[in-house]
Amino acid sequence: MTKLLLLGAQGQVGQELQQTLAPLGEVVALDRAQLDLTQEGDLREFLHSQAPAVVVNAAAYTAVDRAEQEPELAEAVNARVPQILAEESQTLGAYLIHISTDYVFDGQKNSPYLETDPTAPLGVYGESKLAGERAILKTGAEALILRTAWVYGVYGQGNFVKTMLRLGKERRQLKVVVDQVGSPTWAKDIASALARLIPQRATGIYHFTNSGAASWYDFATAIFAEARALGAVLEVKEVLPIPTSAYPTPARRPAYSVLSWEKTAAALGAYPPHWRESLRQMLVEAKAEGLF
């Protein structure tokens, strides 16, 4: 039976991957508590002891603002770890899957970013993720780098949907940024896409998000509308659109980071679901899990 090693198993995408990868073989799923990926010797030794046929790296340092104060840690997790995984995968003859981000772009484009478009990250997080991509490609390992964006899910730590549901219960008025545009993407859809790409052994850079685009303001108002339709009792009465300049953060974000998923859709033989449709399905699951 094919052995698949899943790193970052307790994250948003990782928990969904535990389910979608199961039909492909034996899944060895690890999180931070079981293996510190920044301990290079331990990581290399573990990879050799397991000798997986497929390595799926869903682990990442994702604290975009904190990364500005912790560049060494962001670099260690997002750049050095992927390099080690690629080197060891090549030695073992394993196939590597690595998840990357829309933050490798500067957001100055006004049409969906292609896999071949020039990269120009605006902050430490994006720089560290881009360094990870480049390190993988430099090794020549058989690897798929999947860039995605605006990820949310039922599982894992806080995300925009969970944050809005919490604030929507606490506050009557919310202010949400309106001049950053991207594609909200359900972690389960990412995991499903990867499970379908792995048997194809696709290599190189691919983009995957849900289809459609929205601002954070659009996303927030949709969350409240869909949650209320499912019976959520929310305090929020007014959502005000504000410019990025009115909500300063330590890290700059790309103003436009919609990714073109045409290449991935061609490989999968299907378009990704629209973000609003997936949001609706996620909220059904969130309600079942008691999140509201």
* Dmax (CA) of the chain: 57
How many angstroms separate the CA atoms of 52 and 5, rounded? 6
Please report, for the chain, the start and end positions of each structural domain, with discontinuous segments joined by +. 3-157+185-211+258-273
On average, the pLDDT of the chain sits at: 96
How many angstroms separate the CA atoms of 129 and 251, rounded? 14
How many angstroms separate the CA atoms of 169 and 235, rounded? 5
Residues identified as active-site: 125
Q: Name which of 22-36, 182-196, 213-227 the model is least confident about.
A: 22-36
Model confidence at 1, pLDDT cuts 50, 70, 90, reads: confident
Model confidence at 98, pLDDT cuts 50, 70, 90, reads: very high
Mean pLDDT of 157-169: 93
Mean pLDDT of 258-272: 97
3-157+185-211+258-273 belongs to which homologous superfamily? Answer: NAD(P)-binding Rossmann-like Domain (3.40.50.720)
Q: What is the pTM of this model?
A: 0.96
User: Is residue 107 a contact partner of residue 258, using CB atoms and an 8 Å limit?
Assistant: no
pLDDT tens-digit readout, 8-27? 999 999 999 999 999 999 99
User: Is residue 86 a contact partner of residue 141, using CB atoms and an 8 Å limit?
Assistant: yes
Mean pLDDT of 203-218: 98
How many angstroms separate the CA atoms of 213 and 70, rounded? 31
